[in-house]
């Protein structure tokens, strides 16, 4: 079918937010609360198998500190403090967009292709990222933003993508998702979406069985992507022509 919309994940897909963003912010939150925890790069990579920051923290405490007593209020307190530090990192320009993101979004906007976000990150974090890192003329480019606790079940459940499709008022056959994790792939595929993966250091070795195309990043005309798996139809950077070719399969 024809391509009507692109749906983007945020963390690790639009921007390099995980290792030097959320991980650092969690560690700041722990330290400010006098908690003796520190998430290393390797540990955080393992925790990313759990979708959602609050869910990730609960998993960590349950499995790594089973004697530590906590309730939902504690989780929310840490999470909100983490978000405060994360947004500071954004305003300090410590977070960067991934290659090809601005180019693709610009092309989609100029071609009247709708765009949406489907992220387990909190809505405040998503909006802070868009408002501080995106050029001013692209800050209103997302017709739909579905994030955080807008759905009860986080990725890998398809709920967040199904809600995005509902708000877009489009069938999955007319949309394409861009993700960076196996958890995100399962969510997008569960909603019936053609899905492109752009890996990062954390997800390079994930199992992406079922992905329609796996790339190292979206690429630029002067910085071609590397195809890890799938057919790029002769393109050297991800563009709407390639998106349409994949969506017609």
Tokens of 40: 């290393």
Rounded CA gap, 45 and 42, in Å? 5
Give yes or no: 9 in active site. yes
Give yes or no: 180 in active site. no
List, in order of start, the domains of the chain with CATH numbers: 5-16+96-247 (3.40.50.1000), 18-91 (1.10.150.240)
| pLDDT given for residue 108 in this prediction | 99
Q: What is the pLDDT tens value at each position of the chain, 249 positions in all?
A: 699 999 999 999 999 999 999 999 999 999 999 999 999 999 999 999 898 899 999 999 999 999 999 999 999 999 999 999 999 999 999 999 999 999 999 999 999 999 999 999 999 999 999 999 999 999 999 999 999 889 999 999 999 999 999 999 999 999 999 999 999 999 999 999 999 999 998 999 999 999 999 999 999 999 999 999 999 999 999 999 999 999 997
Place of tokens 């022509």: 241
Rounded CA gap, 246 and 27, in Å? 40
| pLDDT given for residue 149 in this prediction | 86
Of the candidates 11, 180, 206, 212, the residue annotated as catalytic is 11
Tokens of 244: 């349409």
Residue-by-residue DSSP string for 1-16: ----EEEE--BTTTB-
| pLDDT given for residue 51 in this prediction | 85
Tokens of 178: 């861009």
* Cβ pair 217, 225 in contact under 8 A: yes
Burial of 23 per CB tally in 10 Å (0-12, 13-18, 19+): buried
């Amino acid at each position: 079918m024809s391509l009507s919309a692109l749906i983007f994940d945020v963390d690790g897909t639009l921007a390099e937010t995980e290792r030097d963003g959320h991980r650092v912010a969690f560690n700041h939150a722990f330290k400010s609360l006098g908690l003796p925890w520190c998430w290393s790069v390797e540990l955080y990579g393992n925790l990313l198998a759990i979708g959602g920051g609050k869910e990730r923290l609960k998993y960590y405490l349950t499995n790594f500190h089973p004697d530590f007593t906590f309730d939902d209020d504690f989780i929310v307190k840490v999470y909100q403090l983490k978000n405060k530090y994360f947004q500071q990192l954004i305003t300090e320009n410590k977070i960067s967009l991934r290659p090809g993101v601005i180019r693709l979004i610009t092309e989609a906007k100029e071609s009247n292709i709708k765009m949406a976000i489907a992220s387990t990150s909190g809505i405040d974090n998503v909006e802070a990222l868009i408002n501080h890192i995106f050029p001013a003329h692209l800050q209103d480019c997302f017709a739909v933003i579905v994030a955080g606790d807008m759905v009860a079940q986080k990725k890998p459940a398809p709920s967040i993508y199904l809600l995005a499709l509902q708000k877009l008022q489009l069938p999955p056959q007319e949309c394409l998702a861009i993700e960076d994790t196996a958890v995100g792939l399962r969510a997008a595929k569960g909603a019936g979406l053609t899905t492109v993966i752009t890996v990062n250091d954390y997800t390079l070795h994930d199992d992406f069985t079922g992905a329609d195309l796996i790339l190292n990043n979206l690429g630029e005309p002067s910085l071609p992507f590397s195809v890890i798996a799938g057919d790029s139809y002769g393109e050297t950077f991800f563009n709407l022509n390639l998106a349409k070719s994949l969506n017609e399969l």
